[in-house]
Structure 1
Amino acid sequence: MSSTMLRLNSFESPPDGFPPDREHAVRRLLESVVRETHEAELRGNRSRRPRKRPSLPVIRLGLATATAVVLMVVSLGLAGVLRPDAGVAHAATPTLVGHETSTGEPAADVLRDLAGRAAGTPSTSGDDTIRTERWSLAITADGGNAAAGDEGAGADTEGAAGQEGPASPATTTVTTAIIPVQREMTRLDDGSVSVREVGGEPQFPNDAYRRAWDDEGRPGPHGAVLRDEILPPGQYHLTYPADLPTEPALLQETLATEQPDARHDTGALFLAIHQLRNEQVPSGEVQAGLLELLAERADVVTLGQTTDRAGREAVAIATNSTDSGWPLRFILLIDPDDGHILGYEQVLTGDVAHVDVAAPAVIDYTLFH
């Protein structure tokens, strides 16, 4: 069995650690998904030659995905979702809203207008709780004897696309569902940090995916508490300081401490802004500086007015980048009233060898609540 995961340097890891007790809990969860799905496969297909249980490296790849909280391998490649009777030809990805494929127009004027609105937003003491809902594509494929692929550009040690030896497209079968993780991170008065993560409700591009998922016993962590703990003071390390500059040039240098490529690659700048928003709500002045910084980039376009996945009106701002080795579009969804960030998306804009995803496809999104 081989594994392919869309896990690039563009998917960031959380700044906090991964305690051993949580590692064991998540491993048990993933192993139970593997076992229960495999047993359902055998019960429903006695006439077929049973497939082998996934190897430990595959389980570790699923664990790495959970570790990064990018969300989760919800089935580990045991079910034939590509079988003709299911009518499913590709891994499940979120339905395109419409803005993801728009051509777009230069965004400088729109961004400066939004920056003015953000700057006029009354400053507050800051929200101590960050609430997000996030999903990222992770695929584990059950395939034939495939040669190991080349290591992807920007590959990390947790399993870059192609690094584990992609399965042959002719023999690959993939089972996925869209199960976001709902996360609350609260900074408490004593300096400790509370983190709670719960598996969200599965979503499907169409009924064929839902039927295939139901046939396999509905595997996955829907409703499961994936993490619920309080980290002592000093154990949760913020990626960026809470006291941020408001000048665009200084903001760029601050973001570049974590994402050095943000100085020249606008996709990396979008990623850094996403990382920042994952751990704090910027003040109106800081948000205005971020928008002014984006306005200085000639490759940033506006995709127009849209509605995000929570039903909120938004202005979609985007840039295209291939610096990761993949053709990606990075999107920020901005509140048209106050200029603050409502969401973030990554879209695969072109087909990639050995990855059973039909482009264009959303491969990562975050909603900020």
Structure 2
Amino acid sequence: MGRLSNRAAELSERLTQNVQAVCRHYLPSGRREGRYWMVGDVAGAPGRSLYVRLFETGRGAIGNWVDAATGEHGDLVDLIRLNQRHVRLAETINEAERFLSLPPSAADGTSTSTTFAKPAPAGSTSAAKRLFSASKPLTGSLAASYLRSRGINRAFDLPALRFHPRCYYRANEDDAPGTPGAFPAMIAAVSDDDGVQTGTHRTWLDPTGAKKANVASPRRAMGNILGNAVRLGQADDILIAGEGIETMLSLREVLPTMPMAAATSSAHLAAILFPPSLKRLYVARDRDAAGDAAFGILTNRAKAAGIELVSLMPDFADFNDDLRQHGALGLGEQVRLQLHEQDRTRFSAQ
């Protein structure tokens, strides 16, 4: 078993040098989004619950993957084992050796003379900070018009949100031919518990400001996102965390003094890092399977950390839908009924 384990470790290293080829071969229904390959599960179903890290950073090694829906994780050897439903490690080793014997062109559509160089730790955190610094204040911008179209009126004094009039967009295979290379965008700073910026989130917008841009991936993040979030206020003992920025901004309409965090996706919500002083975490849930899975993982993590977890459920798909359907008064009544009594008084609307 020791020999097999050593061989598996060697193959894992070789597979990471061809990480995109591995993803395209075993998870063909997925696609690259920023620094990750996104897909539904280890079997390769369409979706976004499982992400494979394509670039090495301080947050994780290249080739590592996590399935937010199940909590499974591992390296590329583990991915192949589960994808191929192997029972014995020897089967997976044989499969990995077979795959690595293919010329790169057969697996990834590139020239056989091309070698996949191991990506250097990308300066994406620095690039994320540069993009945020180059962006403009939200007030009076197209992004402000976009948020107002979604019933959000309290966001314009938040230091985490900015606007870029022409933000680069890299089209993928799901975009229509001739998709422009830049759109106006709402820019959000992703930071850790100490307020140190680790990444940037982009929401590309239609030039009318009435909706998101008509592209395959209107939301993308760059930098170190895992565990971090778009912070709306400094958390101490109480925090509301959820997936989308618009979802959390909708709750801020009725709870403006409550600290909040937008994790930007269900996978990142499941992995959000808890402030050391946190006593109670409210989770603003989306009504979908990915949201349910993220809440299940958070339940186990919060219990282990001694943190009380409280579910906040919308009436519709998410709390922005509720804001637009019920208005701020209706949403406020709905949400306050789900809070602890002491928090209703402490974080009353102003």
TM range (shorter): under 0.3
| Greater share of residues in helix | 2
TM-score (norm 1): 0.23
Give the number of the structure with larger relative contact order, counting CA–CA contacts within 8 Å between residues 6 or more apart. 1
